Structure formats: C-alpha cells, structure tokens
Structure 1
Amino acid sequence: MTTRWLTPEEQRAWRAYIAASLLLEDALDRQLQQEAGMPHLYYSVLAALSEAPERRMRMTDLAEYLKITRSRLTYVVARLEKDGAVRREACKWDKRGSVTALTDEGMALLERTAPGHVETVRKAVFDHLDPEQVGQLERICTGIKEALQGDGPQAVAPEELPWRRRSCSSG
C-alpha cells in the first residue's frame, strides 16, 4: 500500500487545525475551570441534558451525542452526581440501561456558567469569522464528522466509534 502523503497545503491546513483545536479546548477548559470548577466535557454533559426532553437521556444516547466512550461518560456522570448536578435513574423501558437526569442544581449551575462559556466561544471563534466563513466552518466540520461516522469507505468501523468502544477492563 502506497502512503498518500499530505501536500504542503494540506500539511499547513492540518497543522493549523491541530493547533486551533488544542488551543480552543484549552481556552474552554480554563474558562470553565475558573468560573465553575469543571472541565468542558462536564459542561457539555449538562448542556446536552438541558436540551433533552424532561432533561433526561439514556446513558448510551448521551455517550453517542457527546462522541465519547461509555466508560468515560460513566466517570463524568459519577462526578457530576456527587456534586448534585445530575442523578442516575433506572431506565423504565430498558432494564439493562440507565438514564441521567439534570437536577435543578445542575440546571442552575449551567445557567450561571453559560454566559461566560458563550463569550469564550464567541471571542475564540466567531468574532474572527464573517458569515460566509461560519457557513464554511459548519460544512467542513459536518463533512468530517459524517465521513468518520458514516457508511462510506473511509468511515470508522461501527465498533470503533467512541460510544461503542468497550474499556480495557470491561472485556
């Protein structure tokens, strides 16, 4: 198999993407740690639950929505549950599953934290883009996401998608 090396233009674009994504994640984590004592992933869990019907989601659905492993989500939910931001409930329609519910305390935390988070996102990303670039960014990111989780020849095997992976300890 012949290696398809990146062109100089692709290499520059790739390195710019890597640098931007690492810097953005760091900026979001720093802001949320300073303001709410939580990393970006914890905020993402609260935000996803806040938008779900009855502020509840099945754990497997939440892992898929966030594009993370089930074991990582279990750890995050346990920490948020300890802080009173979420609670776990038995799944009424699937005895094997569980549901995570956003508590009133978790909703209040999210409402206090959201303005600073949105301002950080705006300053880091959208203040530097014109409306056409915003549309391009959405199309680019959607294309990459669909290629990785879709059905095409370049797609990741379904069992390799993060929310379907098993941790090493779960066998």
Structure 2
Amino acid sequence: MNRSRIQLLTEIAIFATLAMILDVFTEPMKLGPWISFSFKMLPIFLVSFRWGTKAGMSAGFLWGILQVVTGEAAGGILTLFQGFLEYFVAFALIGLAGVMKPAIDRARQRKETGKVLLNTLTGVVIGTIARYAIHFIAGFIFWGQYAPEGQSAVYYSFVVNGSSALGEGLACILVIWLAQPLLSVFLDKK
C-alpha cells in the first residue's frame, strides 16, 4: 500500500471520527423545535473536497457506522431497512459534495478564489440535499405515523427534515465562508 493510499484511508477515518465527535459533544444551537444550527457534516465535506466523492462517501458511511455501534442511533432506528437508509445511505450521500472537486481544483489552479468558494458552497448544498432527501423519504414512510393529527406524513417529513437540512446546511456554509482562506491551505496540503 503506497503512502497516498494510507493517507487517504487515515483521513477518512479521522474525519468520520471528527464528525462523530462534533455530533456527540457539541450542542447544536436550536432555532426551533426541529431546526438545529450545527456544522457536524463539515468534516465529511472537507474529505469530499480534498479527495473526491468516493472518499467523502466512505467517510460519511463510516460516520453512520459509528452512529450505530456507539448507540447514538438507538432511538432513531425503527426497522432494519429504515436504519440502513438513514444511517448508512443518508450519511454516505453527504460525500456527493465531492462531485465539485474537479471544479474546485480548476478554480484553485487559476487562483479564482471566488469560484473556489462558490464551488465548495455548491458542494455543501449538494451533499446536504442528498442526505436529507433520504431522511425525507424515510420520514414519511417510517415516521409519518408521528405526524400531528390532520397533517399529512409527507408535509410532516418535509417540515421536520427540511428544517434540519436548512440549519445544518447553513451552519456548514457559514463556517466554510468564514474559513475560506484556511480551506485553500487545507486543500493544498496532501
């Protein structure tokens, strides 16, 4: 195994663990009953921008595994299939942010910092929507029974999961926007 491969696998493990630590030990700022302003997906986005989609999806998948094996997912699993969707598939899909890596790399080579920022923020939106699309689907199929009386399961899932996606996506966008000079340094170091 060459040095680059070892570095890749090490970073996947470290950043998945960092996402788990942020998830467990940082209290999200609550903006309402379902809106949590949290940047716990940020480590998965960073792996995706640095190494690409496959690495980002691997880190997200590993974060989902950590959720399950540590018991953090215990209250969120109703059935085996639902648990698989919401913890393995949804978390892995955060890594789709890596589809922006080629555009980020081109903009970095041309020293177009505005485009680097725009492409990373677009990646955050892609990864957030991909993750929460799965939560939305699982929400109305598996969690719809908890919708308030008279409210459709689809609307309930849209409100709950859409609010979470908005809060987490905006938090990650804000951090990336504020730390953009550091992002370039991070992406350069391999």
Instruction: Tell whether the structures are fold-level matches, with TM greater than 0.5.
Output: no
Structure with a larger share of its residues in strand: 1
The structure with the largest helix share of the pair is: 2
TM-score (norm 1): 0.30
